[in-house]
Amino acid sequence: MRILPISANFGLNSVRKNNTQTRVMSAMPCDSVSFTGKNESLRKVVILLGAPNSGKGTYARKIAQSFSIPQISTGDILRKELKAGSELGKEAKSYMESGGLVPDELIMKIFKNRIAEKDCAKGFILDGFPRTVNQARQLDGLLAEDKNISLKIVNLDVDRPILYARSAARYTCEDCSRVYSIKEGYTPETAKCECGGKLIKRADDTPEVLTSRLENYDKQTLPLIDYYGSKVSNVGVHGKDAPADETLARVMEKLQ
């Protein structure tokens, strides 16, 4: 049996299978890393850019743990709304299932509400936001209101065949949204997330939807690399997939 967090050998130390806890990976090497002392009083804002399946969610979760600030994933917020059957979820559903982007107006409303919450006072890690230049401009406006911000932007530049391979193996916990990479020969139906949640295939985790998401990414999100220009630090995964703890260490370096 092989079951790993997506593209990773860190983070989730074990999964439950038929009530048996199975240890599958080692402890994460970067848990003790923090922003440097001189920035300690600043509000830390990290933007993780990258195509679908580039690992934004996995790395954002670990960075958030290391820095003790929340991960904000607009995708996770939308999925929760969808599951709850809220008006917002209903509005977002068709866009999400077809691989399209949810309109900026809706996303900005969700985002502003989220960063107004108390746990964002010391900063936050953005995973999947901004996704359009319009969202980035509005984010700039919001950040400009606070002079006490340390902003870091990392772009995960992962080759397309690697993105498709990750998508094929990917299962998501329906409760906490953690992602697992399930290799051939294993049945995810019997596996459970560490939190006890069921592992499911996301409705948008098919090759067809990934193709459409990548087309939208190229058109609407890739321009953010030019928009942010020299503020962006690139971390590339080319040729064959790299162990996630290695990539994470490279991301952490860029955040120092």
* Residue type at position 174: E
CA distances from 165 to 27, 36, 41, 158, 170 (A): 25, 36, 41, 12, 9
CA distances from 246 to 107, 113, 153, 165, 238 (A): 32, 34, 18, 19, 13
Interface pick for ligand AMP out of 124, 129, 180, 228 (rule CB under 6 A) = 129
Active site residue 131: yes
Give the x-and-dash track for 200-229 against ligand AMP (CB under 6 A).
----x--------x----------------
Q: Is residue 96 part of the contact set for ligand AMP (CB under 6 A)?
A: yes
Segment near ligand AMP (CB under 6 A); pick from 17-25, 94-102, 152-160, 184-192: 94-102
Q: Is residue 170 part of the contact set for ligand AMP (CB under 6 A)?
A: no
Active site residue 166: no
Minimum distance of ligand AMP from residue 29's CB (angstroms) = 26
Q: Which sign, positive or negative, has the C-alpha torsion 97, 98, 100, 103?
A: negative
Name the closest residue to ligand AMP (Cβ). Answer: 75
Q: Is residue 128 part of the contact set for ligand AMP (CB under 6 A)?
A: yes
* Residue type at position 200: I
Taking the CB of residue 165, how many other CB atoms lie within 10 A of it? 16
Segment near ligand AMP (CB under 6 A); pick from 68-76, 117-125, 148-156, 193-201: 68-76
Minimum distance of ligand AMP from residue 53's CB (angstroms) = 8
- Secondary structure (DSSP) of 143-207: HHT-SSEEEEEEEEEE-HHHHHHHHHHEEEETTT--EEEE-TT--GGGEE-TTSPBEE--TT-SH
Q: Is residue 11 part of the contact set for ligand AMP (CB under 6 A)?
A: no
Residues in contact with ligand AMP by CB under 6 A are 52, 73-75, 78, 95-96, 99-102, 107, 128-129, 131, 135, 204, 213
